[in-house]
């Protein structure tokens, strides 16, 4: 039989190799090596009790969602993530499935660029992770946030842009969703989202046009609840080999918007949904 590895041993080993600074936590003197269980619990969004049971071998079959969260919190490589899935007797994500794993290099970008608002999305614009600057600018993202659905259902924050900009942005979103569906035709998550979107009349209207519009790097103006309108440059990058989209918002140094942005980051998170 294939050696799947021991889940409890793997989790404790991976936890022990991390340092607080590697995950954006303050260093504490006179502590044991590695992260505490409480810290991994917070990063992964699972209870400390459940993590204890996993590490002690009293729980052996985490859900796919929990396994993905642990892989992200422990900053596993793709190969290590697959090892985690094998040890948990879970199906390893196939190449035909939309990637959702954030590699350590992208996680470091989230942690080590505090002056830049950064969000990481899947190819179908489902939000995976954001940094504190993103939360301060755009709010705490809701669970299972998807940019395309939020826009076409009117639940995304208002962007103060011209009608021409909005129309081009909508066509770019529809193009991206079409590309995701074509690239991952056997991924049920992607196909289910497409079915929901095509039930929205405005999305379906643009879908039937068949136009192809690429995302562009350009300024966006958001109406922040404290500082009012703030204009930032929006850039879209692709993490090579992952199909993940990395979105950044920056303000021009020395500008009034940069001063507003500094204040926003000092104030911290507010409540509206992310975009």
Q: Is residue 151 part of a domain?
A: yes
Same domain, 149 and 243: yes
| pLDDT over 70 at 271, yes or no | no
Same domain, 74 and 207: no
Residues 194-206 have pLDDT tens digits of: 999 999 999 999 9
Domain extent, residue 28, equals: 7-87
Q: Out of 24, 53, 87, pick the residue that ends a domain.
A: 87
| pLDDT over 70 at 49, yes or no | yes
- Mean pLDDT of all residues in 31-60: 89
Mean pLDDT for the chain? 89
Same domain, 48 and 110: no
Same domain, 122 and 191: yes
Residues 113-123 have pLDDT tens digits of: 889 999 999 99
Same domain, 121 and 64: no
pTM (two decimals): 0.82
Q: Is residue 258 part of a domain?
A: yes
Q: Out of 59, 87, 115, pick the residue that ends a domain.
A: 87
Residues 127-184 have pLDDT tens digits of: 999 999 999 999 888 888 999 999 999 888 778 888 898 999 999 999 999 999 999 9
pLDDT band at 29 (very low <50, low <70, confident <90, very high): low
Same domain, 62 and 140: no
Q: What CATH number does residue 32 fall under?
A: 1.10.260.40
- How many domains is the chain partitioned into structurally? 2
pLDDT band at 272 (very low <50, low <70, confident <90, very high): low
Same domain, 126 and 227: yes
Residues 54-79 have pLDDT tens digits of: 999 888 889 999 999 999 999 998 89
**Quick one: tokens of 123?**
């190819």
Same domain, 40 and 138: no
Q: Out of 87, 116, 132, pick the residue that ends a domain.
A: 87
Residues 217-245 have pLDDT tens digits of: 889 999 998 999 999 999 999 887 788 99
Rounded Cα gap, residues 44 and 35, in angstroms = 12
Residue 5: per-residue pLDDT: 58
- Residue of 273, 248, 251 lying closest to 262 (CA atoms): 251
Q: Is residue 122 part of a domain?
A: yes
């Amino acid at each position: 039989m294939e050696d799947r590895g021991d889940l409890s041993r793997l989790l404790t080993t991976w936890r022990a190799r991390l340092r607080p600074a590697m995950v954006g936590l303050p260093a504490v003197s006179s502590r044991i090596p590695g992260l505490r269980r409480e810290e991994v619990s917070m990063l992964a969004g699972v209870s400390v009790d459940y993590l204890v049971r996993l590490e002690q071998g009293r729980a052996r079959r985490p859900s796919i969602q929990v396994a993905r969260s642990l892989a992200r919190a422990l900053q596993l490589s793709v190969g290590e993530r697959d090892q985690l899935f094998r040890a948990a007797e879970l199906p390893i994500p196939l190449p035909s499935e939309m990637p959702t794993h954030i590699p350590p290099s992208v996680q470091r970008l989230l942690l080590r660029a505090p002056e830049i608002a950064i969000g990481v999305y899947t190819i179908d614009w489902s939000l995976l992770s954001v940094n504190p600057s993103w939360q301060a600018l755009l709010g705490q993202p809701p669970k299972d946030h998807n940019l395309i659905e939020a826009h076409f259902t009117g639940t995304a924050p208002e962007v103060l842009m011209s009608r021409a900009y909005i129309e081009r942005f909508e066509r770019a979103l529809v193009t991206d969703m079409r590309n995701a569906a074509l690239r991952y035709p056997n991924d049920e998550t992607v196909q289910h989202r497409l079915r929901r979107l095509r039930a929205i009349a405005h999305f379906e209207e643009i879908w039937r046009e068949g136009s192809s519009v690429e995302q562009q790097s350009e300024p966006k103006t958001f109406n922040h609840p404290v500082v009012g309108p703030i204009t930032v440059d929006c850039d879209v990058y692709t993490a090579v080999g992952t199909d993940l989209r990395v979105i950044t918002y920056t303000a021009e140094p020395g500008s009034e918007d940069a001063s507003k942005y500094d204040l926003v980051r000092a104030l911290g998170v507010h409540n509206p949904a992310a975009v």
